[in-house]
Amino acid sequence: MRLLVSTRFNVGLFLFFSAVCALGSVVPQEPDSAQAAARFLEAWPRLGGLLSASGCFDLYHSWWFAALLGLLALDVALCKLRRPPPGSDPWEGLLGGPRAGGDAAALDLARPELRKKSLYAVCDRAGGGEGIGRLLEGFAAEGWRLSPVAEAPGAVEAGGRASEAPSGALAWVADRGSAQRWGSLVSHAAIVVVFAAGLAGRLLGFSEMIEVSEGRTAPMRHRPWTIALDRFTVEHYEKDGRPKLFASELRIMDGPLEVGRKRVVVNDPLDVGGVRFYQSSWGVAEDFAAVKISAAGEERVLRPGVEARLPGTRASVTAERFMPDFDVVDGRPANKSSEAIHPALRVRLKRPGKPAETLWVLNDMPDAALAEGPDGSVEAAPPPPFRVLGVQPRLFSGIEVGYDPGYRFMLAGFGAWVAGLVLLFGVHRRRVWVVCSESDGALRCELAGWSLRGDHAFHAEFDRLAGRARSALASAGAAVEGGGRGGA
Q: pLDDT per residue over 423-450, tens digit each? A: 999 999 999 999 888 777 778 889 999 9
Show the CA angle centred on residue 410, arms to residues 407 and 412, nearest 5°: 115
Instruction: Provide mean pLDDT across the span 88-115.
Output: 72
Q: What is the pLDDT of residues 277-324, one digit of tens each?
A: 999 988 888 888 899 998 888 998 999 999 999 988 889 999 999 999
What is residue 82's predicted lDDT score, i.e. its pLDDT? 67
Instruction: Provide mean pLDDT across the span 204-226.
Output: 92
**For the stretch 167-182, what's the b/e string if a residue is b when 16 or more beta carbons lie within 10 angstroms of its beta carbon?**
eebbbbbbbbbeebbb
Does residue 405 contact residue 162 with C-beta atoms inside 8 Å? no
Does residue 260 contact residue 272 with C-beta atoms inside 8 Å? yes
Interatomic CA distance for residues 432 and 487, integer angstroms:
13
Interatomic CA distance for residues 46 and 35, integer angstroms:
18
* Residue 217's pLDDT band (cuts 50, 70, 90): very high
Q: List phi, psi (to 5°) of 438.
A: -120, 140
What is residue 108's predicted lDDT score, i.e. its pLDDT? 77
What's the half-sphere exposure (Cβ side, CA atoms, 13 Å) at 360? Answer: 25
Q: List phi, psi (to 5°) of 242.
A: -70, 145
Mean model confidence pLDDT for the chain? 84
Closest by alpha carbon to 475, among 152, 60, 133?
Answer: 133
What is residue 470's predicted lDDT score, i.e. its pLDDT? 86
What is residue 422's predicted lDDT score, i.e. its pLDDT? 94
What is residue 102's predicted lDDT score, i.e. its pLDDT? 55
Residue 133 DSSP one-character state: H
Instruction: Provide mean pLDDT across the span 379-408.
Output: 90
What is residue 168's predicted lDDT score, i.e. its pLDDT? 62
How far CA 114 is from CA of 93, 111, 434, 487, in Å, comes to 11, 5, 10, 14
**Residue 62: pLDDT over 50:** yes
Q: Which spans in 82-148 are helix H?
A: 102-114, 132-141
- Residue partners of 155: CB distance under 8 A and separation at least 6: 129, 162, 163, 164, 166, 167, 168, 170
- Residue partners of 121: CB distance under 8 A and separation at least 6: 446, 447, 462, 463, 466, 469, 484, 485, 486, 487
Q: What beta strand segments (E) does 86-168 contain? A: 120-126, 145-150
Does residue 108 contact residue 137 with C-beta atoms inside 8 Å? no
How far CA 110 is from CA of 72, 90, 151, 160, 423, in Å, comes to 40, 11, 14, 20, 28
* Residue 159's pLDDT band (cuts 50, 70, 90): very low
Closest by alpha carbon to 22, among 67, 59, 76?
Answer: 59
Per this entry, what is the length of the chain?
A: 488
Instruction: Provide mean pLDDT across the span 61-79.
Output: 84
**Residue 212: pLDDT over 90:** yes
What is residue 151's predicted lDDT score, i.e. its pLDDT? 55
- Residue partners of 329: CB distance under 8 A and separation at least 6: none
pTM for this predicted structure: 0.64
Interatomic CA distance for residues 192 and 417, integer angstroms:
10
Q: What is the pLDDT of residues 7-16, one digit of tens each?
A: 788 888 889 9
Show the CA angle centred on residue 389, arms to residues 383 and 392, nearest 5°: 120
**For the stretch 137-161, what's the b/e string if a residue is b when 16 or more beta carbons lie within 10 angstroms of its beta carbon?**
ebbeeeebebebbbbbeebbeeebe
Instruction: Provide mean pLDDT across the span 326-334.
Output: 91
Instruction: Provide mean pLDDT across the span 214-239.
Output: 91
Does residue 200 contact residue 413 with C-beta atoms inside 8 Å? no
User: Looking only at Cα atoms, what is the longest distance across the chain?
Assistant: 134
What is residue 316's predicted lDDT score, i.e. its pLDDT? 93
Instruction: Provide mean pLDDT across the span 182-210.
Output: 88
**Residue 406: pLDDT over 50:** yes
Interatomic CA distance for residues 260 and 270, integer angstroms:
8
How far CA 250 is from CA of 90, 223, 245, 274, in Å, comes to 63, 16, 16, 16
